[in-house]
Amino acid sequence: MPTDIIEDSRLRMCMVSDRFGRVLPFSKGLLATSILATGIKPPAAYDVARVIQERLNKSSAESIASEALTQITAQEISRRESRLVPSKS
């Protein structure tokens, strides 16, 4: 069974709502798969998804809009990419 859906009393389930009002539980695996579609290598994609999952678990929010999830995911990817690309000074 995927580890991101195993129940753990220490983790709360964060729900993701889309612009049509549909609500689904956050899935680290689904997020990682979506990130893979951008061309990011699997280890990095799954690490980004893990970091996002940790942020959601630490937050007090019970839900997040899909647009906000997309934004924090893009920010995390940008943060990582900026560390890998040398600055042009």
The domain ranges of the chain are: 26-71
Please count the other Cβ atoms lying within 10 Å of the Cβ belonging to residue 56. Answer: 22
3-state DSSP call for residue 20?
coil
Q: Are strands 15-17 and 23-25 parallel, antiparallel or unpaired?
A: antiparallel
pLDDT tens for 11-68 read: 568 999 999 999 999 999 999 999 999 889 999 999 999 999 999 999 988 999 999 9
Q: For tokens 């195993």, what's the residue?
A: 6
